[in-house]
């Protein structure tokens, strides 16, 4: 699974231990691949790698989902829930692949 955690902008890019962060959700590899095809997750990110989206990235992805009316896709719905948690908190997201 690829786990997403809420992260304030003042914290380092990848804190060593995500247990101090609030878990925002997870994606399996099939959903992840579909989201990459839809250009919601950048191609440069591998499913098993760690990456971070700041608050601006979160807002851009939410805008893209709304503009392209993708919210009904089951995989997009999972990502949308994660993004909305981050937006509501005013945080970014960090992803940890395992």
Q: What is the pTM of this model?
A: 0.91
58 by Cβ neighbours in 10 Å (0-12 / 13-18 / 19+) ranks as buried
98 residues of the chain, pLDDT tens digit each = 999 999 988 776 666 677 889 999 999 999 999 999 999 999 999 998 889 999 999 999 999 999 988 888 999 999 999 999 999 999 999 999 87
Cα distance between residue 9 and residue 67, in whole Å: 26
Q: Looking at beta carbons, which pairs linking 69-78 to residues 24 or more positions away fall under 8 Å?
A: 70/38, 70/40, 73/34, 73/38, 74/31, 75/27, 75/31, 75/34, 75/35, 76/35, 76/38, 76/40, 78/25, 78/27, 78/31
> In the chain, what are the domain boundaries?
2-8+20-91
């Amino acid at each position: 699974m690829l786990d997403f955690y809420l992260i304030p902008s003042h914290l380092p890019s990848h804190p060593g231990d995500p247990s101090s962060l609030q878990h925002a959700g997870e994606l399996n590899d099939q959903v992840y691949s579909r989201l990459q095809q839809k250009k919601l997750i950048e191609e440069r990110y591998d499913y098993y790698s760690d990456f971070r989206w700041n608050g601006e990235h979160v807002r851009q992805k939410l805008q893209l989902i709304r503009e392209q009316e993708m919210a009904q896709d089951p995989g997009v719905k999972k990502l949308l829930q994660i993004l909305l948690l981050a937006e509501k908190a005013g945080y970014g997201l960090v992803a940890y692949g395992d």
